[in-house]
């Protein structure tokens, strides 16, 4: 029991380490020049973010750039307009610390925010002095509304029932309400959840300007898709509208990384979404059947064939027969199966050809290894196969999986190997991670199974397996 737990713990630990390694690999690979589709999180550090950036830092930098009239002021104005209500608790109190000209520039930059919040008309904020006066009064009157607790209360009430006034109140605090709105979207389990998603997504769409709404007459699947879209938006931009303080800042050093974002998508279920919008878990489900079947063919047919081949070779006494068998085995194991496929088969041959290739390559590879292993001992090839199962179990999975990747690619079979290769090439991190983790799990299971089938042998006192 203890050994089984230790083995399972070892597999889990290896998979975690593997996920880190594979993520590093895909991030590293995606950094190559001329990458067609970089990840949306490519700007983030891969594993550790020493300086996570939240709304406080973004708004402070934007105010500074606008106040100084730097060349980057135009971009800073756009940033401030995008940050909207979430930036107001940091921007408006800071107005007093600026000189009059700078103050006017910053106040004017907030005009798009006021229009979106529906708290002023454009002509009321025509010049700098008017804008400063407006925002000073606004903060005196409305600062109390910019509190997390009151916004959460408003959002939960809107989620429960539709009242126009609640919607307006939320629009008045603009992006400050985003965390609460996203949280209250919740899960869509039945048709009763659809109206809630419709009400909240309408407000979200107004605040962010994104056309992601749940239209009247939408079904459960549509509502789920809308919720998923908003969650993806929040994964990508959430930190820009949140203040990173205290423990949250500490957590952000991991969460605000490429790996953290991927892990968040995994924990949300479905192993995240691929670039085509499919769930990565569905992709694994589709590819698993083909790859498992080829793996089974390799193990179930190719491996015994290799043992039989070695047995045949061992029983021959003529040097010529043994030599021909050895050369044939070596050649079959050596020639990349891609060449065989390309030269002697049409891509329409599909699965039967792939099965044949995996079987032949496995048989040749196993026979060569067993022939060498039995060479120095007087044991039968079957006993040798069991005896050397641990080392073969270590070297066989990467070999056979590489062969499976090749045949899947060439015959266009919808397997995990092809999915992993194509997703790595096009930078689809979620698809790559899902497919390669599934392959790695299969490989690890094979290795541990090989360890288990090895017959019990006297072990050294040191406890070495």
Partner 1 sequence: MKDANVRESLSAKRRLLMAAAATALLIALATLLAPLSPELRAYARGLAFAVLAGLSITLVAFVVALPLGALAASGPRVFDAALRFACDLVGSLPTVFVAAVLWAGSSSTIRFVCALGVLRGLEQAWLLRCEIVRLEAEDPESVPHGLGRTPLLAFLRRRMSIALGPLFVSASFSVAWLTALDAAVSQAGLRPANAVATWGPLLGSPQPSPLPALLAAGSVALLTVALHALFRPSRAV
> Looking only at residues 355 through 374 of this chain, which bind partner 1 when binding is defined by CB under 8 A?
368-369, 372-373
| Residue 202: CB minimum distance to partner 1, A | 43
459 contributes a contact to partner 1 by CB under 8 A? yes
Residue 130 or 441: the one with the smaller Cβ distance to partner 1 is 441
| Residue 291: CB minimum distance to partner 1, A | 10
Question: For residues 413 and 404, what is the distance between their CA atoms, to the nearest angstrom?
Answer: 10
Selected range binding partner 1 among 16-24, 90-98, 104-112, 122-130, rule: CB under 8 A: 16-24
- Contact criterion met (CB below 8 Å) for 75 and 292: no
Instruction: Determine which residue in the list 68, 78, 377, 453 makes contact with partner 1, applying CB under 8 A.
Output: 377
Interface with partner 1 in residues 225-284 (CB under 8 A)? none
325 contributes a contact to partner 1 by CB under 8 A? no
209 contributes a contact to partner 1 by CB under 8 A? no
State the burial class of residue 409 (Cβ atoms within 10 Å of its Cβ: 0-12, 13-18, 19+): middle
| Residue 431: CB minimum distance to partner 1, A | 13
32 contributes a contact to partner 1 by CB under 8 A? yes
8 contributes a contact to partner 1 by CB under 8 A? no
Selected range binding partner 1 among 136-144, 163-171, 191-199, 375-383, rule: CB under 8 A: 375-383
Residue 2 or 464: the one with the smaller Cβ distance to partner 1 is 464
Binding marks (x or -) toward partner 1, 289..318, rule CB under 8 A?
A: ----------------------------x-
CA atoms within 13 A on the CB side of 241: 25
156 contributes a contact to partner 1 by CB under 8 A? no
43 contributes a contact to partner 1 by CB under 8 A? no
Instruction: Determine which residue in the list 327, 346, 449, 452 makes contact with partner 1, applying CB under 8 A.
Output: 327
Would you state the structure tokens that stand for residue 407, as one six-digit string? 């045949």
| Residue 458: CB minimum distance to partner 1, A | 5
State the burial class of residue 208 (Cβ atoms within 10 Å of its Cβ: 0-12, 13-18, 19+): buried
| Residue 452: CB minimum distance to partner 1, A | 15
Task: Give the three-state DSSP class for 37.
Answer: coil
CA-closest candidate to residue 210, choices 231, 187, 224, 230 = 230
36 contributes a contact to partner 1 by CB under 8 A? no
| Residue 423: CB minimum distance to partner 1, A | 10
| Residue 283: CB minimum distance to partner 1, A | 16
14 contributes a contact to partner 1 by CB under 8 A? yes
Q: If you ran DSSP here, which 8-state letter would residue 279 be given?
A: B
For 96-101, the CB contacts below 8 A with 24+ separation are 98/63, 98/67, 99/67, 101/128
Instruction: Determine which residue in the list 1, 34, 96, 189 makes contact with partner 1, applying CB under 8 A.
Output: 34
| Residue 116: CB minimum distance to partner 1, A | 44
Q: If you ran DSSP here, which 8-state letter would residue 110 be given?
A: T
Residue 355: Cβ within 10 Å count: 18
Instruction: Determine which residue in the list 97, 162, 315, 402 makes contact with partner 1, applying CB under 8 A.
Output: 402
18 contributes a contact to partner 1 by CB under 8 A? yes
397 contributes a contact to partner 1 by CB under 8 A? yes
Q: Which residues of 41-77 are buried (b: 16+ CB within 10 A; e: fewer)?
A: beebbbeebeebebbbbbbeebbbbbbeeeeebeebb
Give the DSSP H/E element, type plus range, for residue 339: helix 337-344
Q: Following CA atoms 337, 342, 345, 350 in sequence, which dihedral angle do they give, to the nearest 10 degrees? A: 70
Residue 281 or 379: the one with the smaller Cβ distance to partner 1 is 379
Cα 346 to the center of its chain, rounded Å: 35
337 contributes a contact to partner 1 by CB under 8 A? yes
460 contributes a contact to partner 1 by CB under 8 A? yes
Question: For residues 210 and 457, what is the distance between their CA atoms, to the nearest angstrom?
Answer: 66
CA atoms within 13 A on the CB side of 370: 31
């Amino acid at each position: 029991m203890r050994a089984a737990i230790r083995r399972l713990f070892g597999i889990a630990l290896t998979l975690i380490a593997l996920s880190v390694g594979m993520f590093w690999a895909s991030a590293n690979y995606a950094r190559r020049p001329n990458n067609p589709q970089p990840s949306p999180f490519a700007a983030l550090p891969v594993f550790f973010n020493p300086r996570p950036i939240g709304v406080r830092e973004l708004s402070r930098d934007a105010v500074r750039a606008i106040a100084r009239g730097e060349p980057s002021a135009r971009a800073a104005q756009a940033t401030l307009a995008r940050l909207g209500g979430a930036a107001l608790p940091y921007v408006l109190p800071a107005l007093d610390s600026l000189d009059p000209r700078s103050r006017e520039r910053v106040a004017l930059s907030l005009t798009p925010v006021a229009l979106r919040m529906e708290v002023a008309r454009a002509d009321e904020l025509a010049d700098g002095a008017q804008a400063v006066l407006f925002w000073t009064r606004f903060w005196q009157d409305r600062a109390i509304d910019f509190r997390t607790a009151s916004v959460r209360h408003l959002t939960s009430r809107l989620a429960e029932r539709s009242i126009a006034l609640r919607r307006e109140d939320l629009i008045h605090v603009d992006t400050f309400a985003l965390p609460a709105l996203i949280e209250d979207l919740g899960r869509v389990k039945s048709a009763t959840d659809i109206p809630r998603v419709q009400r909240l997504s309408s407000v979200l769409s107004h605040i962010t300007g994104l056309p992601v709404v749940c239209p009247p007459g939408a079904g459960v699947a549509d509502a789920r898709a809308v919720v998923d879209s908003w969650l993806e938006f929040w994964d990508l931009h959430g930190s820009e509208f949140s203040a990173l303080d205290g423990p949250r800042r500490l957590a952000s050093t991991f969460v605000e990384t490429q790996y953290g974002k991927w892990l968040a998508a995994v924990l949300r279920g479905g192993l995240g979404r691929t670039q085509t919008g499919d769930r990565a878990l569905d992709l694994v489900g589709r590819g698993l059947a083909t790859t498992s079947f080829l793996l089974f063919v390799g193990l179930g047919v190719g491996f015994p064939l290799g043992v039989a081949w070695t047995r045949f070779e061992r029983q021959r006494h003529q040097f010529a027969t043994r030599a021909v068998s050895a050369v044939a085995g070596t050649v079959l194991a050596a020639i990349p199966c891609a060449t065989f496929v390309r030269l002697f088969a049409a891509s329409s041959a599909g699965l039967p050809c792939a099965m044949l290739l995996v079987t032949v390559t496995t048989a040749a590879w196993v026979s060569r290894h067993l022939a060498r292993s039995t060479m120095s001992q007087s044991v039968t090839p079957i006993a040798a196969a069991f005896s050397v199962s641990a080392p073969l179990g270590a070297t066989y999975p990467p070999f056979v999986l590489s062969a499976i990747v090749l045949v899947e690619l060439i015959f266009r079979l919808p397997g995990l190997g092809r999915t992993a290769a194509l997703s790595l090439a096009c930078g689809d991190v979620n698809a790559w991670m899902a497919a390669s983790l599934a392959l790695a799990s299969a490989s690890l299971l094979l290795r541990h199974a090989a360890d288990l089938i090895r017959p019990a042998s006297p072990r050294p006192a040191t406890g070495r397996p």
